[in-house]
Amino acid sequence: MIPRFFCPLPAEPAGTITLPAPVAHHIDRVLRLADGDAITLFDGRGSEFAARLVRRGRSVDATVGVESTPQRESALDVTLLQCLAAADKMDWIVQKAVELGVARVQPVASRRAVVKLAGERAQRRVEHWQQVAVSACEQCGRNRVPEVRPLLTLPQALAAASGQRLLLHPEGGVPLKSAGLRADEPITVLIGPEGGFDADELAAARAAGFAALTLGPRVLRTETAGVAVLSALNTLIGDF
């Protein structure tokens, strides 16, 4: 496959451009691509461009060619409200959610989350997860980069939720296939932390219009649940 790189581009790119430092570093030090090698650049707004590398000493440039707008986005508009999990698990969740077509990821701070973030540390983690989303788009072919939103508390996330609201819970819910979901209305999926929700949080989610659903009789880990429901939604009403 031709390597793909996220690269903010002018409205009408033409000629030779200098690639951003992170992209140049990856091309030079990781992939070790040579002068004239083919690459693909995408701008995050839906377009991708055929390009060729131009190596002049330490400079890494690219000659931008033909623009195309392939459709690789999911027909579903899904927001994943993901309660904080351990760092490597959150990276994995964001990566796989992007591959499965999620529209946006909203990190959520809940009472039983094993990870506590606030202030500058929270901002740095969100920036890191946004870069994870970019890398996932480079790999999976998406040309629109899903937003990883700033961290919210659970009450804030519940208040901002809209559309069809789903709460994955191992007890007391209906099977996803029986929920009567529609593809033409946004879907918000709430996934609990490693320690689960407490009774007050569950009550608040239900009061905010979240319907409790199950994915079978087994209890799924927080890093499995979101991926499982995105896969199931794509199968039931999406593009699988």
Q: How far apart are CA 9 and CA 118, in angstroms?
A: 33
Pure H helices in 82-163: 87-99, 119-140, 154-160
pLDDT at 117 over 90: no
CA–CA gap between residue 97 and residue 137 (Å, rounded): 11
pLDDT at 170: 80
With 90 as the cut, is the pLDDT of residue 113 above it? no
Which residues sit opposite 165 in a β-bridge?
188
- Highest-confidence segment of 15-29, 48-62, 93-107: 93-107
Pairing of strands 147-148, 104-109: parallel
Of the CATH numbers 2.40.40.20, 3.40.50.720, 3.20.20.10, 3.40.1280.10, which one belongs to the domain with range 78-237?
A: 3.40.1280.10
pLDDT digits (tens, 9 = 90+) for 192-236: 999 899 999 999 999 999 999 999 889 999 999 999 999 999 999
SS3 123: helix
Kindly list the domain boundaries of the chain, sorted by start residue: 4-68, 78-237
Say if residue 205 is exposed, middle or buried (CB neighbours under 10 Å; 0-12, 13-18, 19+).
buried
Rounded to the nearest 5°, which phi and psi values hold at 108? Answer: -130, 135
Q: Considering only the top CATH level, what class is 4-68?
A: mainly beta
The pTM score is 0.92
State how far the Cα of 46 lies from the Cα of 239, in Å rounded to an integer. Answer: 18
Whether 4-68 shares its CATH topology with 78-237 is answered: no
Tell me how far apart the alpha carbons of residues 208 and 154 are, in angstroms, rounded to a whole number.
11
